[in-house]
Amino acid sequence: MASVEAIGKPNDSGSGGLAQKSGKSMDPCESGTEQTNRGRGNTWRCPDPGCKRENQKSDQACTQCSLPSQSAQQFKKGHRGGRNNRGSRGGRGGGGGGGHYSKFHSREPKTLPKGVDPNNPIIQQFQEHARILDEKNDKYERIVKLSRDITVESKRVIFLLHRITCEDDKPAVLGEAEIKLGDIRKRLWYYVASELVNEDPYKFLRAYTGGLQEYVEALSFYHYICYDELISWEKVQEELHFQRNAHRPKDEVKDPLDPKAAQARETIPTKEQTEDEDAGDSVSVAIQEEAHPEPKSDSSGGNTNLKGSTAKKSLQVLVPKTDFVLGLADLTGEVMRQAINFIGLGNTQACFDLMEFLHAMHDGFLDVGYRHDMRREMSRKINVLNHSLQKVENACYSINVRGSEFPSKTHLADLLLNSRESHVADPTGPMGDETDGPTDCDPYL
């Protein structure tokens, strides 16, 4: 027994041990080294999804697919840093690009040229200047991008509004226009406003003045068609006053309002990419709030610019009155176009109404325009206004002249309408009115 045991033991331990040993040395040992190596960072994994081989750090290329280790590292970096973000933010137009832009800059290490002492106080000072300038330029560019988008979208709204040919078109078209204008506010102005938090809006005014004027033009045109009156500055300013939603997580609310501009710049893009819908919701809530007729005492307070820093949760895009009036000057062009359209459609009365409106606008500009400190833009626009007015006046003149020549024109329209109405109204009943609707105002189509 004992001997057997004794024999068995060493034997067992000998062979088994050997076997175990060899076994260990075959796989667990390897996996052990692999683990420890990985823990220490001595290996790198091939990023090729079809390969994924662990390689020694000393290897210059993957032992399986011979991918150079350097390119593998680059791949890793790109994967961690920009690429993901860019992918997730792709859907969101201009602002997203802006966010990426800033990221690109912050990630780029500042390399000093040869022979420059990094410890030199002057150089350090200039690095600080460079940071400030870059920050400003980046922000400016981001706002310019947004402004360009706003211009394009506002133009679309204007074209949409020109498609109104008669009263019956109005509800549908105006509804669509309102949605589009709301979209512009939520999707574009909101981001402009968050860029302007804790900034002097006049500093970046030149970046967004183009978009603003176009937007005022679209909004006032919409407002004019809706309510038959000129929009007031207070209304425009109030529309561009946003409130952040209070029930969002605290850090989300806080970060962009952080007084540290650099931090705010970093956090706004991340918020955009992760909480895009959330942000949209919060704005829509703000807009709903604004839709209530309760006037906001602080927003109507005029040109106070430090709003972002004083009022904790409200953002706004400042609308300087001059830019507002420049937008109104553009409006006159649209009104002129609409008047001419109406003549084409035979709606001559509308044309006279529009002329009256243009006269009022003209008087307004005469009163205000030729004053001191007038921008060159303004005088140019007043010139355009004069031309528009003349065009409409001539049109109205020829309506009257021709109208007297051919009295049958309107009569004919009336006759046509009446005959058709009586013709259709009988069999279809209430439907008759609707089918007649479009023809009601363009009998010549």
Partner 1 sequence: MANVSEVFRDYAESIEAEHEVREKVRDKLRVIETLARESSAMLQHVHQPSGFAKIADITAQAERHLVDQIRPALAELSSSVPASQFYRYYAMFNYTLMRLCHLCSLIHFLKEGQLLTRAATAQDWLQIGQSRADGFYLEVDDYLGGLIQTSNELARFAVNCVTNQDFERPVQICEFLSTLLAGFRLLNLKNDNLRKKFDSLKYDMKKVEEVVYDLSIRGLTKSPPTGALEDKGTSPNPSQGTPNAEGDDGPVKPQDG
Neighbours of 440 (CB within 10 A): 17
> Residue 243: helix, strand or coil by DSSP?
strand
Smallest gap from Cβ 103 to partner 1, in A, equals 16
Smallest gap from Cβ 363 to partner 1, in A, equals 7
110, 139, 142 from 136: Cα distances, Å: 17, 5, 10
CB–CB of 299/237 below 8 Å? yes
Neighbours of 83 (CB within 10 A): 12
Under the binding rule (CB under 8 A), the answer on residue 150 touching partner 1 is no
Going by C-alpha positions, the residue among 364, 240, 248 that lies closest to residue 314 is 240
In sequence order, what are the residues at sequence separation of 6 or more whose Cβ sits closer than 8 angstroms to the Cβ of residue 275? 248, 252
Under the binding rule (CB under 8 A), the answer on residue 93 touching partner 1 is no
Under the binding rule (CB under 8 A), the answer on residue 112 touching partner 1 is yes
Kindly tell me which of 292 and 372 has the beta carbon lying closer to partner 1.
372
Smallest gap from Cβ 392 to partner 1, in A, equals 15
Size of the site for partner 1 (CB under 8 A): 51
CB–CB of 104/142 below 8 Å? no
Q: Enumerate the β-bridge partners of residue 242.
A: 315
Q: Which stretch binds partner 1 (CB under 8 A): 108-116, 264-272, 277-285, 379-387?
A: 108-116
Under the binding rule (CB under 8 A), the answer on residue 69 touching partner 1 is no
Under the binding rule (CB under 8 A), the answer on residue 372 touching partner 1 is yes
Under the binding rule (CB under 8 A), the answer on residue 349 touching partner 1 is no
Q: Which of 303, 390, 398, 422 binds partner 1 (CB under 8 A)?
A: 303
Q: How far is CA 294 from the centre of its chain?
A: 27
Under the binding rule (CB under 8 A), the answer on residue 306 touching partner 1 is yes
Under the binding rule (CB under 8 A), the answer on residue 262 touching partner 1 is no
> Residue 56: helix, strand or coil by DSSP?
strand
CB–CB of 315/243 below 8 Å? yes
Q: Which stretch binds partner 1 (CB under 8 A): 20-28, 88-96, 200-208, 337-345?
A: 200-208
Touching partner 1, residues 213-242 (CB under 8 A): 229-233
Neighbours of 202 (CB within 10 A): 11
Q: Which stretch binds partner 1 (CB under 8 A): 165-173, 273-281, 353-361, 436-444?
A: 353-361
Smallest gap from Cβ 306 to partner 1, in A, equals 5
| CB burial of residue 134 (10 Å; 0-12, 13-18, 19+) | middle
Under the binding rule (CB under 8 A), the answer on residue 127 touching partner 1 is yes
Q: Enumerate the β-bridge partners of residue 44.
A: 55
258, 262, 324, 335 from 161: Cα distances, Å: 40, 41, 20, 11
What DSSP line would sit under 333-362, residue for residue? HHHHHHHHHHHHHT-HHHHHHHHHHHHHHH
Under the binding rule (CB under 8 A), the answer on residue 277 touching partner 1 is no
Kindly tell me which of 115 and 249 has the beta carbon lying closer to partner 1.
115
Q: Judge whether 334 is annotated as a binding position.
A: yes
CB–CB of 92/276 below 8 Å? yes
Q: Which of 137, 379, 398, 419 binds partner 1 (CB under 8 A)?
A: 137
Q: Which of 31, 63, 73, 120 binds partner 1 (CB under 8 A)?
A: 120
Q: What's the CA gap between 362 and 332, in Å, rounded?
A: 9
Kindly tell me which of 245 and 322 has the beta carbon lying closer to partner 1.
322
Under the binding rule (CB under 8 A), the answer on residue 122 touching partner 1 is yes
Under the binding rule (CB under 8 A), the answer on residue 330 touching partner 1 is no
Under the binding rule (CB under 8 A), the answer on residue 107 touching partner 1 is no
Q: Which of 38, 203, 387, 402 binds partner 1 (CB under 8 A)?
A: 203
Smallest gap from Cβ 36 to partner 1, in A, equals 44
CB–CB of 44/60 below 8 Å? no
Q: Largest Cα–Cα distance of the chain, in whole Å?
A: 138
Q: What's the CA gap between 30 and 36, in Å, rounded?
A: 10
CB–CB of 89/75 below 8 Å? no
Q: How far is CA 267 from the centre of its chain?
A: 17
Under the binding rule (CB under 8 A), the answer on residue 155 touching partner 1 is no
Under the binding rule (CB under 8 A), the answer on residue 326 touching partner 1 is no
Kindly tell me which of 232 and 383 has the beta carbon lying closer to partner 1.
232
Question: Where is the binding site for Mg(2+), in residues?
Answer: 217, 334
- Residues in contact with partner 1 by CB under 8 A are 110, 112-113, 115-116, 120-123, 125-127, 129-130, 132-134, 137, 198-203, 205, 229-233, 303-306, 321-322, 324-325, 328, 356-357, 360-361, 363-365, 367-368, 371-373
Question: Where is the binding site, in residues?
Answer: 217, 334
